[in-house]
Amino acid sequence: MQTQIHVSAEVSEALSTGRPVLALESTIFTHGLPRPRNVEVAREAEANLRSSGVTPATIGVVDGVPTIGMSDAEIARLSDDDSVVKVSLRDLPIAAAKKLNGGTTVAATAYLAHLAGVKVFSTGGLGGVHRGASETFDESADLGTLASVPIVVISAGVKSILDIPLTLERLETLNVPVVGYKTTNYPGFFVSDSGYDIEYSADSPEEIAAIAHSRDELGLHSTLLVANPVAADKQLDPKVHATVLAEAIEASHKEGIHGNDTTPFLLDYIQRATNGQSLEVNIEVYRGNVALGGKIAAALLNA
């Protein structure tokens, strides 16, 4: 038996003819958003890209087959599948052998995008170093993968429930370049400024494309991370965010939540405590990153 990946005809043609392609993850609609908003957001992202001349390459695992460029029917199917699993890079061979349906994380999506020749990937927020990692050694597999996959990833920073300064330290250690889009304030997913600074910014998609091109010429193999903050008028109120986040962390400790259950617990707590406002911010974050990713994908073709 030979494990293969499937690249859709639309994506394959765009790559072969030199048209811009943007990779999109599937966990946002398999695990990140409630129904029916999940499939609506996925379809909206693809439609907006196509209208701007960019081919969307939504990535997931369908019946065990890693798929780059899921069809609308496949997106709808996985969006409504209670048995769909979350697939990180280490899970890909297991999902393939067991013929599972899976939403791919940042790590798995970045790897599959690179394998297919897609150079740019937009997501919401990255995984990173978890709070208390000095005792638990808990950090996302995203970090190690980003250190070895030479694509461009656009995100609104790492999720604010994580340890942001330690995550930035790990990215530095792993030689992963981080560039803010029109800012040196590192975003905190739900808020446009996490309170931590980064060293460099880029003022245009063309400048980001030039940095990626220089990385390739130098023979480096790490991801170029583009930190794209949510617009200030779309962010969660920073004071509300700080209060609710502290409450969510305290609640997780009281209930003994740990490991893989921590992130969904905290995000669900924040959503309920903000009466759904955090969900709307999440969607705005994604929209902004998809829009910027499409522009960078186009700019890369002329770099």
Tokens found for residue 300? 């890369």
Q: Any idea what DSSP says for residue 4?
A: -
* Residues marked as catalytic: 25, 159
Reported confidence tier of residue 1, pLDDT bands at 50, 70, 90:
very low
H or E stretch at 61: strand 55-62
Query: Are the CB atoms for 104 and 78 separated by under 8 Å?
Result: no
- Rounded Cα distance, 152 and 140, in Å: 18
Query: Are the CB atoms for 296 and 154 separated by under 8 Å?
Result: yes
pTM given for the model: 0.94
Nearest to 156 by CA among 288, 294, 5: 288
For the chain, what is the radius of gyration of the CA atoms? 18
Instruction: Choose between 55 and 260: higher pLDDT.
Output: 55
Structural domains in the chain, sorted by start: 1-118 (3.40.1790.10), 126-303 (3.40.1790.10)
Highest-confidence segment of 133-147, 169-183, 246-260: 169-183
Locate the DSSP E strands across 156-265.
178-181, 185-188, 191-197, 200-202, 224-227
Give per-residue pLDDT as tens, 18-46: 999 999 999 999 998 899 999 999 999 99
Query: For the ranges 13-17, 156-160, 175-179, 231-235, which has the lowest average pLDDT?
Result: 156-160
Reported confidence tier of residue 191, pLDDT bands at 50, 70, 90:
very high
With a pLDDT cut of 90, the percent of the chain lying above it is 81
Tokens found for residue 73? 């029917």
pLDDT of residue 197: 96
- pLDDT of 264 over the 90 cut: no
Query: Are the CB atoms for 114 and 149 separated by under 8 Å?
Result: yes
- Rounded Cα distance, 33 and 30, in Å: 7
